[in-house]
């Protein structure tokens, strides 16, 4: 009988990410939160478009795109979508054209990920003030129809790259994490949006890291919707591996109290961002990882984590988003302006005897 690892290796993928990503200890943050051990799994260092979780998913999502001989990839996301920008990067790396349907508050200048979308030469259709998933999907399907009518071979990639295939990227990540951690129980905290990462982690934990408790922190949906969607994705991924899903329906743990509004910075997220930057030199963003770290902080402080069991924070990337925010989001900057020609300090020197002063 084949092992889970052999079964996973038999599924086609296109290498796109720098792997394995490092697992780093964060001792000062652990002390700050009263945890015995805290690690950060640095999936912000996957490389593609400045890194992030989507690189692992896209390795699987791009396999059928290449197999079917498509020449253009169309996908969707919010204004600062990491998935969209990483899809653009992957498409370019593989010699394909890319079209993005994005939506959200209107913008004066492309900043953050929008700037990178421009660099990658992605054509954008922007739904002003509308980032509803159904509106985005409808616009994507319409564009795909237009491209087909023009004789192109488009491929529509759903929001977040969250497909059963994409989730296998995080099944693989759990296989990678197991030897980095060694045996024993562990608590893994992760941001949840379109659910693919969370689905892959849960399935991967059952297969490769059975002592893991996977804790999802929502950045947008209710916990109920997350559990529903995650269960569907796990079933799809398990089907691709040709196994029955080993994750019982009631085993998914997700918290939805830390996001307020999708895309908007929160006070608790900002506190977490500043603590990580100032205690560990670690950067997080306000939309995803700042909020998942805020969830970790709240759980640690409220007794929701076992302080004696190691905690792994999965850093899912998203750092270009930081550059779509102004410094004031994070509090006052400590800047002293020094003029180019500073006047000498102290009293002005007296004129030399005999010199004329005007």
**Is 82 near ligand PLP (CB under 6 A)?**
yes
Candidates 162, 163, 202, 268: give the one binding ligand PLP (CB under 6 A). Answer: 162
**Is 317 near ligand PLP (CB under 6 A)?**
yes
| CA-based end-to-end distance of the chain | 99
Number of H helices, E strands in the chain: 11, 10
Contact 220, 228 (CB under 8 A): no
Candidates 52, 103, 158, 310: give the one binding ligand PLP (CB under 6 A). Answer: 52
CA distance readout (Å), 182 to 46, 174, 262: 22, 12, 36
Collect all residues with Cβ–Cβ distance below 8 Å to 21 and sequence separation of at least 6. 41, 42, 43, 45, 46, 176
Least Å from the CB of residue 109 to ligand PLP: 21
What residues from 318 to 347 belong to the interface with ligand PLP (CB under 6 A)? 318
**Is 316 near ligand PLP (CB under 6 A)?**
yes
Longest dimension (CA), the chain: 104
Least Å from the CB of residue 101 to ligand PLP: 15
81, 162, 237, 268: which one is catalytic?
A: 81
Contact 45, 51 (CB under 8 A): yes
Least Å from the CB of residue 194 to ligand PLP: 3
Q: Which residue is nearest to ligand PLP (CB)?
A: 318
DSSP 80-118: T-HHHHHHHHHHHHTT-EEEEEEEES--SS--THHHHHH
Site string for ligand PLP, 174-203 (x = CB under 6 A): -----------------xxxxxxxx-----
With CB under 6 A as the rule, give the number of residues binding ligand PLP. 19
Least Å from the CB of residue 269 to ligand PLP: 13
Residues 69 and 75: their CA atoms lie apart, in Å, by: 17
**Is 297 near ligand PLP (CB under 6 A)?**
no
What residues from 142 to 161 belong to the interface with ligand PLP (CB under 6 A)? 160
Judged by CB under 6 A, which stretch of 104-112, 175-183, 206-214, 310-318 contacts ligand PLP? 310-318
CA distance readout (Å), 159 to 80, 188, 202, 250, 280: 13, 24, 20, 25, 32
Candidates 39, 155, 208, 288: give the one binding ligand PLP (CB under 6 A). Answer: 288
Closest CB to ligand PLP among residues 158, 310: 158
Closest CB to ligand PLP among residues 35, 173: 173
Closest CB to ligand PLP among residues 86, 147: 86
**Is 113 near ligand PLP (CB under 6 A)?**
no
Burial-class residue 206 by CB neighbours within 10 Å (0-12, 13-18, 19+): buried
Q: Is the bond preceding residue 58 a cis peptide, omega within 30 degrees?
A: no
Closest CB to ligand PLP among residues 197, 237: 197
- Token pair, residue 279, equals 């205690």
Closest CB to ligand PLP among residues 187, 194: 194
Residues 308 and 326: their CA atoms lie apart, in Å, by: 38
DSSP code, position 79: T
Please state the separation of Cα 78 from the chain's center in Å: 13
Tell me how long the chain is: 358
Is residue 268 part of the annotated active site? The answer reads no
Least Å from the CB of residue 338 to ligand PLP: 37
Binding region for ligand PLP (CB under 6 A)? 52-53, 82-83, 160, 162, 191-198, 288-289, 316-318
């Amino acid at each position: 009988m084949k092992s889970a690892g052999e079964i996973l290796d038999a599924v086609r993928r296109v290498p796109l990410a720098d792997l394995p990503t490092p697992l780093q200890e964060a001792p000062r943050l652990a002390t700050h939160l009263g945890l015995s051990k805290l690690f950060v799994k640095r999936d912000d260092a996957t490389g593609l478009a400045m890194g992030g979780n989507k690189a692992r998913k896209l390795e699987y999502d791009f396999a059928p795109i290449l197999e079917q001989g498509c020449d253009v990839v169309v996908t969707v996301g919010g204004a600062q979508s990491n998935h969209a920008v990483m899809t653009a990067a992957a498409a370019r790396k593989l010699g394909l054209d890319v079209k993005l349907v994005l939506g959200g508050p209107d913008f004066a200048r492309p900043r953050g990920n929008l700037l990178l979308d421009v660099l990658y030469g992605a054509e954008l259709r922007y739904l002003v003030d509308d980032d509803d998933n159904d509106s985005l999907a409808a616009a994507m399907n319409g564009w795909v129809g237009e491209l087909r009518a023009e004789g192109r071979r488009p491929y529509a990639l759903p929001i977040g790259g969250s497909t059963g295939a994409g989730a296998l990227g995080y099944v693989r990540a759990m296989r990678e994490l197991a030897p980095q951690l060694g045996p024993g129980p562990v608590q893994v905290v992760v941001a949840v949006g379109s659910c693919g990462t969370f689905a892959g982690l849960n399935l991967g934990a059952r297969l490769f890291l059975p002592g893991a408790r996977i804790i999802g922190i929502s950045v947008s949906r209710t916990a109920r919707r997350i559990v529903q969607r995650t269960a569907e994705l796990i079933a799809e991924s398990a089907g691709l591996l040709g196994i029955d899903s080993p994750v019982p329906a009631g085993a998914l743990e997700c918290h939805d109290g830390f996001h307020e509004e999708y895309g908007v910075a929160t006070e608790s997220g900002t506190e977490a961002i500043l603590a990580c930057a100032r205690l560990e030199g670690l950067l997080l963003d306000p939309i995803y990882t700042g909020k998942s770290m805020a969830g970790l902080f709240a759980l640690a402080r409220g007794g929701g984590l076992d302080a004696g069991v190691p905690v792994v924070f999965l850093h899912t990337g998203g750092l270009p988003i930081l550059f779509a925010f102004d410094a004031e989001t994070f509090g006052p900057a400590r800047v002293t302006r020094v003029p180019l020609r500073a006047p000498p300090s102290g009293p002005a020197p007296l004129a030399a005897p005999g010199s004329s002063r005007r």
